[in-house]
């Protein structure tokens, strides 16, 4: 049997996405009602981190505990990877110990190398290009909040980064109409747009955030400077002017909920009052990382 990985969200077919979201809802209810759901008893997840994390680290570790399993934190500088041990050797070694590996790395090619050499499932916990686990939680949150995906529209405002790219593909998989607004030069990759097209997605791109959010159901943003881009911060602050999700922008989307994958930089991509407002569903999104990833892991490992 071939080993399944989640390197990006379109590694899942629409029906598989549906199965995982249903399972996530089931786990969420089970946890809320204190019901036993130890489906991964005795199983271990290795977690490689080349970049910092709050949500990804804690939700995966806690999720494994709740499923009756265990997670091992492997900071890149704490394992031999940080001293130059090749990724392919790391992948083959870890495969002999653990049942699955979640990895947060810089270059997307690196998660592909891990998958190529691993005999256990590899889960992308964020690369420079993609963040599929975030998308799973985003879709779970939108489905809960909007009562399904039928007729739902969403707008992305800001950088065409890893979170935006996986969300664009995920929206296509789920059947959400999406408008992505970015400053010129910060668009999502052409290759991602082609994948959205292949999935029959309804994606519009623009450089006008007002046009993007007009009458939409969901407005989603993320930081202007992602991890690893710190040197570009000053230039980005200038180039993203006008792309802040704030009251002025949200006036054009009177019924919209506001999403952010977190961590947020208040006063940059989002204003403090919007993130603290009733419109904000950012902490439901953060919570749903836990439920969605438990569902993903148990689906990958069954």
The residues annotated as belonging to the active site are 104, 131, 134, 222, 261, 289
Beta bridge partners of 45: 71, 100
177 binds ligand NVA (CB under 6 A): no
Give me Rg for the CA atoms of the chain: 19
Partner from ligand CP, ligand NVA, none contacting 54, C-beta within 5 to 8 A by type: ligand CP
8 contacts ligand NVA (rule: CB under 6 A): no
First to last CA, the chain: 12
Q: Pairing relation of β-strands 122-124 and 100-104? A: parallel
For ligand NVA, the binding residue among 21, 45, 136, 261 (CB under 6 A) is 261
Residue ranges in 118-177 that form contacts with ligand CP under rule CB under 6 A: 126, 134
244 binds, among ligand NVA, ligand CP, none (CB under 5 to 8 A by kind): none
- DSSP string covering 47-100, please? EEESS--SHHHHHHHHHHHHTT-EEEEEETTTSGGGGT--HHHHHHHHHTT-SE
Out of 222, 279, 280, 285, the only residue in the binding site for ligand NVA (CB under 6 A) is 222
Classified as helix, coil or strand, 110 is helix
Q: Residue 226's binding partner, choosing from ligand CP, ligand NVA, none, with beta-carbon cut-off 5 to 8 A by kind?
A: ligand NVA
How far apart (Å, rounded) are the C-alpha atoms in residues 174 and 74?
33
Q: Confirm or reject binding of residue 275 to ligand NVA (CB under 6 A).
A: no
**Per CB under 6 A, does 55 bind ligand CP?**
yes
Binding site for ligand CP (CB under 6 A): 53-56, 126, 134, 261-263
């Amino acid at each position: 049997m071939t080993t399944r990985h989640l390197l990006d969200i379109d590694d899942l077919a629409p029906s598989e996405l549906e199965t995982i979201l249903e399972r996530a809802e089931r786990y969420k209810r089970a946890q809320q009602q204190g019901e036993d759901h130890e489906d991964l008893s005795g199983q271990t997840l290795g977690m490689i981190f080349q970049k910092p994390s709050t949500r990804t680290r804690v939700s995966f570790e806690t999720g494994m505990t709740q499923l009756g399993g265990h997670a091992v934190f492997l900071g890149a500088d704490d394992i031999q990877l940080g001293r130059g041990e090749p990724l392919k050797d790391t992948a083959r070694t870890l495969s002999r110990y653990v049942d699955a590996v979640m990895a947060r790395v810089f270059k997307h090619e690196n998660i592909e190398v891990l998958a190529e050499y691993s005999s256990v499932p590899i889960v992308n916990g964020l690369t420079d290009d993609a963040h599929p686990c975030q998308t799973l939680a985003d879709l779970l949150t939108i489905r809960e909040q909007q009562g399904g995906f039928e007729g739902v529209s969403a707008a992305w405002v800001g950088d065409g980064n890893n979170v935006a790219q996986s969300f664009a593909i995920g929206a296509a998989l789920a059947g959400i109409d999406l408008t992505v607004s970015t400053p010129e030069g910060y668009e999502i990759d052409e290759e991602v747009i082609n994948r959205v097209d292949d999935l029959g997605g309804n994606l519009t791109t623009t450089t006008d955030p007002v046009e993007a959010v007009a009458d939409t159901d969901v407005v989603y943003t993320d930081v202007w400077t992602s991890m690893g881009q710190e040197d570009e911060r000053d230039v980005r602050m200038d180039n993203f002017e006008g792309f802040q999700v704030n009251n002025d922008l949200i006036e054009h989307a009177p019924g919209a909920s506001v999403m952010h994958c977190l961590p947020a930089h208040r006063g940059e991509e989002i204003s403090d009052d919007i993130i603290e407002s009733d419109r904000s569903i950012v902490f439901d999104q953060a919570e749903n990382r836990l439920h969605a990833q438990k569902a993903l892991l148990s689906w990958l490992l069954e």
